[in-house]
Amino acid sequence: MRDVVIGIFGIAVGTALMLYAGDVDIPAIELGKLGLVLIVIGALDLLYGVFRVVTRRSRRTTA
pTM of the model: 0.80
C-alpha 36/C-alpha 13 separation (Å) is 10
Contact 27, 6 (CB under 8 A): no
Q: How confident is the model at residue 62 (pLDDT cuts 50, 70, 90)?
A: low
Contacts of 44 (CB under 8 A, 6+ apart): 7
- List, for residues 7-46, the tens digit of each pLDDT value: 999 999 999 988 888 777 788 888 888 899 999 999 999 9
